[in-house]
Amino acid sequence: MNNLMRRAQNVQLWRKYCVKQYTTEAASAALSRGKPNYDEFIAGRQVQAQRSIVVQVSSEKSYSELYNYCSRFGSIVGAHHYCVRHDDDLHYILLEYSTAHEAAAAIDSGATNGDLSGVPVRSPFLWFKAAPGKRGPKLAPNNNNNNNIHHPPTSDLQSVDGTRQLDQEALLSQLRGAESIEQQVQLLHRHTQLNDLGVRMRFLAALQVQQAISGMFPAAQAHPFGSSVNGFGKMGCDLDLILRFDGETGGRKQSSGEPPSRLIYHTKENLSNGRSQTQRHMECFGDMLHLFLPGVCHVRRILQARVPIIKYHHEHLNLEVDLSMSNLSGFYMSELLYMFGEIDSRVRPLTFSIRRWAQACGLTNPSPGRWISNFSLTCLVMYFLQQLRQPILPTIGALVKAAEAKDVRVTEDGINCTFGRDLERVGFQSRNTSSLSELLLQFFEFYSQFDFHNRAISLNEGRQLSKPDHSAMYIVNPLEQLLNVSKNVSLEECERLRIEVRNAAWILESEVENSSLPQSERQEETWGLLNLFKHPEKAIIRPNMFFKPRMVEVSDLFEEKHQQLQSTIGPASTGEAVATAAPSVAYKNVSVRQQVQSIKAATRTELKQLRGSSSAAAAPSPSTKNRRSR
Ligand code: GTP
Ligand code: MG
């Protein structure tokens, strides 16, 4: 009964919260002010989604006609065109009205199409039918419609083909033309981050699910989380969605003056345990999405995972969606990452470069497995920024200390997600003035030295701890401190990470030196960051790759060219000779090539260390000293 009461109270508070706070313009105002906190950001985007509809058209040229038709429902304040590319290009225009009522009026005016089979569903996804009297499905462009008065749009489309990503070649050419590594990092971030339209589309996907079930579940909330909202998402990233029925997301349980209602919804008592009940519910929602929701296709149920999810593709948005019902801590984790990104403007560009590098050398992979996930990698970056002599990020412990009553969040399974949300109150100021290229190099150097074998990483304390178990990599889960975020990472993958960070440190060190030369004197077109991203053949991880024996033929390591180089350069420089000669060796088998490269990298590091340890007896070799000086 207490539970029933508590839920009833929550529902009531949540409704009040929705109506009084977030359906007003306050949240959108916070959004347009530029520095919204996470709750304001989420709520502002939700309000924006409620004011929006998506209409399939024959091309962007239909905008004028669509604008004219749809203006009858209200005032259109924004319009964005995008394409979904299948065999043909499918064109869509996202229209934003000035109020949610106007968008609702447009949706409610929708008719069913007799030609199409399927149960009619009310959703913000619509199709602009050709005006009566016109032949065929094609729409006539511009002012050729059946309304008496034509109103030209008050503004142009804000984007045309607005989700098109910069193709690889164009991106590389931008990076080649940059003036410094610093600028390359910034450009990579600017050109690959999820854009405004991408965020709008993700909030519309969430709203569609929420509205579809709102008749039966009035308190249901579908919230985007993960990289779609935490500021670390790139164009085309998946949408992580959490579906809640009790309003327990965000700061929604503020007390209000009004007493809770005495009219309590009857609910159906469920006797099975929580997990199997969630799985059963998800199965049911999965069927519902699959059978009825326009755009939803390829629905897959992954119900045995630690966090059961329904995966689907949204064909009108060209979007992969992971829907969960029981991962509130993941939602609050996104808030933590969002705050970290807001604290310092270097955090997001740096993380983008590191994620890109990891993708390029095949350390990460979109499917889950024994490799490091983007989330764990992001935690490594955050920890690196916390432990600097002049930290760039505060510890999570410091955020927890700054919490006030309004920051209290405890999930239904008892996970405490309370931390200070007001950055001014947290009062963290970094005195670190390092550039992005310095930080990038320091990141690689830091993890080259990190003792993954014995040490665990704690973002809560911003320091290393001894490892509590034998996992290859241990990152304390910031919100469930008994769990390891990187438990999935295998010993081999952890080793590969160590090798790749060493390689990257090695490459970047010489790139930093090279980048100080004027552009005209740079030897190669591919320079700076681009040399970190030069492993396209490694980008695909084949699941069985690491079951194969990893032995390498010794003869593979020694080729004529090495010997020639060694004889010209001399024995003291063997490490460099191997490095210089490496690209000229052609291996038939990719996996052998990778192994050889790994062994060479490890040998170079050992050589470096040997030189270091012999420096007590002799002065360091000039070449080593020069390479190290910055
Ligand atoms: P991409 O999807 O690769 O772009 O990154 P992502 O950050 O969205 O990662 P993912 O989809 O794997 O996870 C979504 C979100 O769930 C993350 O951003 C975290 O907020 C949260 N999350 C994932 N794994 C964990 C975990 O082990 N613990 C906690 N507390 N949260 C997690
Ligand atoms: Mg994600």
CB 443 within 8 A of CB 383: no
Q: Which residues line ligand 1 (CB under 6 A)?
A: 225-227, 230, 233, 237-238, 240, 329-330, 333-334, 373-375, 477, 479, 485
Task: Tell me which of 253-257, 373-377, 548-552 is least confident.
Answer: 548-552
Which residue's CA lies nearest to atom 3 of ligand 1?
A: 374
Ion ligand 2 — residues with CB < 5 Å: 226-227, 238, 240
Q: Which residues make Cβ contacts (< 8 Å) with residue 101, sequence separation at least 6? A: 74
Does 378 or 533 have the greater pLDDT score? Answer: 378
Does 184 or 593 have the greater pLDDT score? Answer: 184
User: How does pLDDT run across 3-30, given as a tens digit for each residue?
Assistant: 444 444 433 333 333 333 344 456 566 6
Cβ atoms within 10 A of the Cβ of 307, count? Answer: 15
Residue 628 pLDDT > 60: no
User: How does pLDDT run across 105-117, given as a tens digit for each residue?
Assistant: 999 999 887 666 7
Q: Which atom of ligand 1 is nearest to the CA of 233?
A: 4
Q: Which atom of ligand 1 is nearest to the CA of 483?
A: 27
Residue 503 zone, left/alpha/beta (φ > 0; ψ -120 to 50; rest):
alpha
Q: Cα dist. 281→8, 35, 219, 272, 287 in Å?
A: 20, 37, 16, 12, 10
User: How does pLDDT run across 267-317, given as a tens digit for each residue?
Assistant: 887 766 778 888 899 999 999 999 999 999 999 999 988 889 999 999 999
> How many Å lie between the centroid of ligand 1 and the Cα of residue 232?
11
296 CB-side CA count, 13 A: 26
User: Which two structure tokens, joined as six digits, stand for 346?
Assistant: 């270097």
* Smallest-distance ligand from the CA of 330: 1
Residue 458 main-chain phi, psi, to 5 deg: -120, 115
Q: Which range scores top for mean pLDDT: 217-221, 504-508, 602-606?
A: 504-508
Specify the residue for token string 């080259």: 448
Cβ atoms within 10 A of the Cβ of 88, count? Answer: 8
Return the pLDDT at 326: 84
Q: Which of 337, 359, 357 is nearest to 502 (CA)?
A: 357
Which residue's CA lies nearest to atom 22 of ligand 1?
A: 330
CB 462 within 8 A of CB 340: no
Cβ atoms within 10 A of the Cβ of 620, count? Answer: 13
Return the pLDDT at 11: 36
Cβ atoms within 10 A of the Cβ of 542, count? Answer: 12
What string of DSSP letters covers 245-286? SS--SSS-----SSPPPS---------S-HHHHHHHHHHHHH
User: Which two structure tokens, joined as six digits, stand for 331?
Assistant: 């939602």
Q: Ligand 1 pocket: which of 324, 333, 382 to mutate (most atoms <8 Å of CB)?
A: 333
Residue 622 pLDDT > 70: no
* Smallest-distance ligand from the CA of 226: 1
Does 536 or 477 have the greater pLDDT score? Answer: 477
Return the pLDDT at 568: 31
User: How does pLDDT run across 44-103, given as a tens digit for each residue?
Assistant: 999 999 999 999 999 999 999 999 999 999 999 999 999 999 888 999 999 999 999 999
271 CB-side CA count, 13 A: 0
Return the pLDDT at 30: 62
Which residue's CA lies nearest to atom 32 of ligand 1?
A: 330
| Distance of alpha carbon 485 from alpha carbon 466, whole angstroms | 16
* Distance linking the first and last C-alpha atoms of the chain: 67
Return the pLDDT at 133: 67
Residue 413 pLDDT > 90: no
* Smallest-distance ligand from the CA of 327: 1
Query: What mean pLDDT is predicted for residues 470-481?
Result: 97
Residue 428 pLDDT > 60: yes
The domains found in the chain, sorted by start residue, are 38-127 (3.30.70.330), 167-192+345-393+435-515+526-538 (1.10.1410.10), 196-249+274-329 (3.30.460.10), 395-429 (no CATH)
Q: Which atom of ligand 1 is nearest to the CA of 332?
A: 20
Task: Identify the sign of the CA torsion 348, 350, 352, 358.
Answer: negative
Return the pLDDT at 109: 94
* Average pLDDT across the chain, whole number: 80
| Distance of alpha carbon 530 from alpha carbon 536, whole angstroms | 12
User: Which two structure tokens, joined as six digits, stand for 275?
Assistant: 């997990």
Which residue's CA lies nearest to atom 16 of ligand 1?
A: 330
Nearest-Å Rg of the Cα atoms of the chain is 28
* Smallest-distance ligand from the CA of 234: 1
Return the pLDDT at 492: 96
Going by pLDDT thresholds of 50, 70 and 90, the confidence category of residue 489 is very high
Three state DSSP letters for 447-511: HHHCCCCCEEEECCCCEEEECCCCCCCCEECCCCCCCECCCCCCHHHHHHHHHHHHHHHHHHHHH
Residue 580 pLDDT > 80: no
Task: Look at residue 91 and give its three-state secondary structure.
Answer: strand
Beta strands at 455-458 and 463-466: parallel, antiparallel or unpaired: antiparallel
Q: Ligand 1 pocket: which of 239, 240, 471 to mutate (most atoms <8 Å of CB)?
A: 240
CB 272 within 8 A of CB 36: no
Q: Which residues make Cβ contacts (< 8 Å) with residue 327, sequence separation at least 6? A: 242, 307
What's the maximum distance between 2 C-alpha atoms anywhere in the chain?
94
